[in-house]
Structure 1
Amino acid sequence: MEIYNPSSQKRSRNPEMSIPAGVRIRGPMRPEFEKIFTRDALEFVAELERKFRPRVKYILKCREEQQARYDAGELPSFDPATKAIREGEWTCSSPPAAIADRRVEITGPVERKMIINALNCGAKMFMADFEDSLAPTWDNIISGQINLRDAVNRTITYEDKARNKTYKLNSKTAALLVRPRGWHLQESHIEIDGEPATGALIDFGFYFFHNHASYRAKHGGYGPFFYLPKMQHSREAAVWNAVFDHAEDVCGVPRGSIRGTVLIETLPAVFQMHEILYELREHSAGLNCGRWDYIFSFIKTVRAHPDRLLPDRVQVGMTQHFLKSYTELLIQTCHKRGVHAMGGMAAQIPIKDNPAANEAAAALVKADKLREVLAGHDGTWAAHPGLVPLVLEVFDQNMPKANQLHVKREDVNVTCADLLQMPKGTRTLEGLRLNTRVGVQYLAAWMTGTGSVPLYNLMEDAATAEISRVQNWQQIKYNAVLDGGLVPGMRVTKELFARVLDEELVRIEKEVGPAKFANGRYQEAAKLFAKQCTAPVLDDFLTLDAYRNIVTFAPTARM
């Protein structure tokens, strides 16, 4: 077995990097990128790609076949073939001490200043994100790797010249977790044997290779720790487990050092939670309620069912029966298997210029987090450092121990019907307008390199923008009847949507100002958003079509 030792690497003084055969770097290079693209690191990532690319292609094909069955009228359900796993008495490996207490986790993109502020904010954990809150531009992805390496080594600083302020780490910081991209996303700027690399393997591979030794030295031999997004089936967890096994073996790391928390953020995955944990049982750190993506996936999964039109997204809260059932089943599943059951995102952000509105937003967050801790969650997410003290207070008052693994929730008995029950509420013209306004503004920001955007006192990311897109698509596809309004029985048509889009662009220009509107990519975003909302067949992800708008190839590739 060949063991790579990143601590022994020396930075090449050769202006031309040494690139392994079959590897082609098409993105523009900056001098500091050489620290990431060492030959050994490139060989490690290329080996991951070559070994696991066929399995990634297979699981994506399985997703297509699964969705075709749903489009033909089938609905998700528990798999009878894996009943023995669901009813078995096995458990996962115990949580390491470094992540035993996860009562508040903050999340955000792998931007330098964000990483420092998040690690310093008082949260127990920080999930640094290559996925929904990051626009995956070439510079964002590779700069993010540099930022994380500096954070692990505690050398990270940030100079804010405008404020004449230097940001650096406190003596005590949150533990770091990293979320790579989902299996469906490619990294077009790196090719392995003539094909674009898998974004998830790029993100995981470079981070693990450069940081595993330093990270484990600081956390009792365990880590690095990851969040794993967008899974739909346990076969996808099996691929991640094999990736972890391979990385540990190649780098001489004890088996089970890596731990991953799976986001249950697709409707099919909620029927596979025991199976997902079983596949990752040596490497599992639990499951998380990815509530926004879950709502998006609910709509996408039942897209061919015209009797399943959801109400306005603002009405689809966690007290709706299908969401309450999902969270309680997740808690019961995780605690039966001895791992954490993490709560969802508080998307509210502090409202500085309106004390009354800020107090109302804080009350919503407090109520949501109180619901989670009383239900048995072991921790939760916050989108903004300003919310961390409030959320900590709720969990400190109601969870005196490091976690609630002892709360088994044996009272929970969730059926397929519970998980598929339609949410109650109304569909309104204002809901259509809000979806359109949010979708266009998020896409415009994403295409200019920003993947996490404050809009209307909420932090929007790709998951929340996806709800806006698929809900618009669903209503246009089936000419949904709107409730209320000046015209009783108004239906959503392509013509109505086109009018709403034009009117909302005018509103956006007024809100952001003519100069920002002219210099942004709002018109381009509006065309792309309209294309996706009116497509005959729903695109799987908003970012797949949008990605081509942020790819930047260098005139000459490195190979």
Structure 2
Amino acid sequence: MSTTNNQQSSVPGVSILASYTADQAKILTPEALKFIATLQRSFNPTRKDLLQKRVSRQQEIDKGVLPDFLPDTAHIRNDANWRAAKPAPGLQDRRVEITGPVDRKMVINALNSDALTYMADFEDSTAPTWDNVLNGQVNLRDAINGTISFTNPAGKKYELKSRTATLIVRPRGWHMVEKHILVDGEPMSASIFDFGLFFFHNSKNQIKNGLGPYFYLPKLESHLEARLWNDVFNASQDMINIPRGTIRGTVLIETILAAFEMDEIIYELRDHSSGLNCGRWDYIFSFIKKFRQYRQYVLPDRYDISMTVPFMSAYVNLLIQTCHKRGVHAMGGMAAQIPIKNDTKANEVAMKKVRADKLREVTAGHDGTWVAHPDLVKIALEVFNEHMPQPNQLFARREDVSVKQADLLNVKFEGKITEHGIRDNIQIGLAYMESWLRGVGCVPIHHLMEDAATYEISRSQLWQWAYHKSMTAEGIQVTGDYCLKVLDEEVEKIKQELGSKYENSKYEAAKKAFATNITGKRYDDFVTTMLYDDILSIGSKPRL
């Protein structure tokens, strides 16, 4: 396959710092590069200002200023008359959404599943290597055009069925950059790169197919960040001459700060809004991260933080109430369980947990839910079809809900910090980082599908416990030295299990990086930015 290795593209001011194949070149066309460069020049200054506001907000929190509902936007929350856009074609019924990375086989299997929609993920379940992000764009383009197929090494061929799930794309968050592309000497916003290339190549074909360009928007921390997305949407639609409002965006409420601005986020996107989603794993991560300096917000083992504990329950109820008040979908969260093939009893227990979780969601008022594996689609559909036989339940107003600041910050529930929880976090952290460094962004660990969000909980809990010198249920004081000791022990176990294969793994690099963030001292904002430079292909030679 032919390759190119450009330093300067044919578009003035745009540099491509890595090689790409002939197929990938059809994504990186001069017209597409000009489009995303225009977006970058228009909106990157605002993006950087908003990221600086995140830093300032964290400094305020560290000084004791806890988040609360904003007084300046009370008029938006209190105005009962405004509504967001009506559901777009293909998004009226979202009872079950399957999520996953954008590799070719996954795209086909997800679209062929009986899920109503498929969230193709460039973010938490995709390690953003240059090949992964470009091939993901190729795969989604081919899927929309109906030309996608895949043949595995054994000769099995995968093709699309006649009926497929509605496609929704999740670009990377505002905090990430795409260093393989420079615009005027500066790395591109990864959000603009992922969104812009997909939108440019596919939006008109999606409209021809009777649908539209639909997106999930991750890790927002304020309504101003939603406003920036709305501005990007308007400019993009204007540039290719399609009506404003054609794009739809569902916002993941997966930060504690965004939970206080749900109404405002929908309001900013109202002509483009298709609702909010309970991004539960990132939400727990954000809660720990934002309040990591506070002893009173130290959380117990991850498995004790259920969706029914006070701060999580308040978040869910407020999201459902807010969405339905504004006429948009309130989407439930991810079931991380995956089928356990070789243990019938364990599989029955896991599937029972999935069923119970989906029953909780549909009876609370959610309009749909997420699963990570095609085999879970049937279970989730059965639960939602039984309790919500119509496409959604936007009519469920949840007027019984009244959520205050204290409710969203209420961590009064039973739970323990245990040695098992510490070792589990370290095992998950190591395995996930090793996988990510190999370019794989989601991996089954302990019969759960782990991605960047679940990894972040593991890392952040260890930091928090070590920083506050928490005591385990066994009477062990958690310190940085103790975490490093357990890390050494777990790595030794892996060495014994892998034998000679260990040398060809990324475990040593994972251990080195992980050790920097579990002692209660250094704390990186995101693993995806901490490790990004380790997976770059800048200066790569042509792949002949």
Q: Secondary structure of the residue that 2:531 maps to in structure 1?
A: helix
Structure 1 consecutive aligned stretches of length 4 or more whose deviation exceeds 4 Å: 12-18
Aligned to 1:525: 510
Aligned to 2:256: 267
2:119 to 127, 139, 151: 127
1:61 to 41, 48, 52: 52
Q: What TM-score do you get using the length of structure 2 for normalisation?
A: 0.97
Aligned to 2:406: 417
**Quick one: structure 1 residues 126 and 14, their matched pair in 2 at CA, closer, same or farther if it must change by over 3 Å?**
closer
Aligned to 2:152: 160
CA distance in structure 1 between the partners assigned to 2:178 and 2:101 by the alignment: 17
CA distance in structure 1 between the partners assigned to 2:434 and 2:227 by the alignment: 36
- The alpha-carbon deviation at position 13 of structure 1 amounts to 13
Aligned to 2:34: 43
Aligned to 1:356: 345
Query: 1:229-248 counterparts in 2 under 5 A?
Result: 229-248=218-237
- The alpha-carbon deviation at position 74 of structure 1 amounts to 1.6
Report whether the alignment pairs 1:338 with 2:327: yes
CA distance in structure 2 between the partners assigned to 1:139 and 1:534 by the alignment: 34
Structure 1 residues 278-298: Cα deviation after superposition (integer angstroms, max 9, x where no partner): 000000000000000000000
Aligned to 1:476: 466
1:551 to 529, 536, 540: 536
Report whether the alignment pairs 1:101 with 2:93: yes
Query: 1:266-285 counterparts in 2 under 5 A?
Result: 266-285=255-274
CA distance in structure 1 between the partners assigned to 2:346 and 2:85 by the alignment: 44
Aligned to 1:8: none
Report whether the alignment pairs 1:540 with 2:525: yes
- The alpha-carbon deviation at position 27 of structure 1 amounts to 1.6
CA distance in structure 2 between the partners assigned to 1:363 and 1:379 by the alignment: 18
* Contact 1:19–1:42 (CA under 8 A) maintained in structure 2: no
Q: What TM-score do you get using the length of structure 1 for normalisation?
A: 0.94
Query: 1:171-250 counterparts in 2 under 5 A?
Result: 171-219=162-210, 222-250=211-239
2:446 to 456, 472, 490: 456
CA distance in structure 1 between the partners assigned to 2:138 and 2:420 by the alignment: 43
| Letter paired with 2:28 | F
Structure 1 residues 166-214: Cα deviation after superposition (integer angstroms, max 9, x where no partner): 1000111101000000000010000000001000000000000000011
CA distance in structure 2 between the partners assigned to 1:402 and 1:246 by the alignment: 32
Aligned to 1:493: 479
| Letter paired with 1:368 | D
Aligned to 1:6: none
**Quick one: structure 1 residues 18 and 76, their matched pair in 2 at CA, closer, same or farther if it must change by over 3 Å?**
closer
Report whether the alignment pairs 1:369 with 2:358: yes
1:444 to 420, 434, 439: 434
- The alpha-carbon deviation at position 521 of structure 1 amounts to 0.3
CA distance in structure 2 between the partners assigned to 1:493 and 1:330 by the alignment: 37
Aligned to 1:4: none
RMSD, aligned CA: 1.6
CA distance in structure 1 between the partners assigned to 2:166 and 2:275 by the alignment: 16
CA distance in structure 2 between the partners assigned to 1:456 and 1:34 by the alignment: 39
Q: Which moved more, 1:502-511 or 1:428-437?
A: 502-511
* Contact 1:313–1:431 (CA under 8 A) maintained in structure 2: yes
CA distance in structure 1 between the partners assigned to 2:5 and 2:520 by the alignment: 47
Q: Secondary structure of the residue that 1:532 maps to in structure 2?
A: coil
CA distance in structure 1 between the partners assigned to 2:424 and 2:10 by the alignment: 48
- The alpha-carbon deviation at position 517 of structure 1 amounts to 2.5
CA distance in structure 1 between the partners assigned to 2:223 and 2:504 by the alignment: 45
| Letter paired with 1:141 | V
**Quick one: structure 1 residues 68 and 537, their matched pair in 2 at CA, closer, same or farther if it must change by over 3 Å?**
farther
Report whether the alignment pairs 1:401 with 2:393: no
Aligned to 2:105: 113
Q: Secondary structure of the residue that 1:98 maps to in structure 2?
A: coil
CA distance in structure 2 between the partners assigned to 1:348 and 1:308 by the alignment: 27
- The alpha-carbon deviation at position 533 of structure 1 amounts to 1.7
Q: Secondary structure of the residue that 1:73 maps to in structure 2?
A: coil
2:421 to 420, 426, 431: 431
**Quick one: structure 1 residues 293 and 104, their matched pair in 2 at CA, closer, same or farther if it must change by over 3 Å?**
same
Number of equivalent positions: 538
| Letter paired with 1:54 | P
1:86 to 74, 77, 87: 77
- The alpha-carbon deviation at position 507 of structure 1 amounts to 2.5
CA distance in structure 2 between the partners assigned to 1:503 and 1:146 by the alignment: 42
Report whether the alignment pairs 1:509 with 2:495: yes
Q: Secondary structure of the residue that 1:61 maps to in structure 2?
A: helix
Q: Secondary structure of the residue that 2:237 maps to in structure 1?
A: helix
Aligned to 1:24: 15
CA distance in structure 2 between the partners assigned to 1:328 and 1:461 by the alignment: 25
| Letter paired with 1:452 | C
Q: Secondary structure of the residue that 2:453 maps to in structure 1?
A: helix
Structure 1 residues 352-399: Cα deviation after superposition (integer angstroms, max 9, x where no partner): 000000000000000000000000000000000010001100000000
Q: Secondary structure of the residue that 2:414 maps to in structure 1?
A: coil
| Letter paired with 2:386 | Q
**Quick one: structure 1 residues 545 and 257, their matched pair in 2 at CA, closer, same or farther if it must change by over 3 Å?**
same
* Contact 1:26–1:556 (CA under 8 A) maintained in structure 2: no
- The alpha-carbon deviation at position 164 of structure 1 amounts to 1.5
* Contact 2:62–2:291 (CA under 8 A) maintained in structure 1: yes
Q: Secondary structure of the residue that 1:230 maps to in structure 2?
A: coil
CA distance in structure 1 between the partners assigned to 2:44 and 2:541 by the alignment: 26
CA distance in structure 1 between the partners assigned to 2:199 and 2:323 by the alignment: 26
* Contact 1:128–1:178 (CA under 8 A) maintained in structure 2: yes
Identical-residue share of aligned pairs (%): 51
* Contact 1:85–1:278 (CA under 8 A) maintained in structure 2: yes
Q: Secondary structure of the residue that 1:319 maps to in structure 2?
A: coil
Q: Secondary structure of the residue that 1:318 maps to in structure 2?
A: coil
| Letter paired with 2:508 | Q
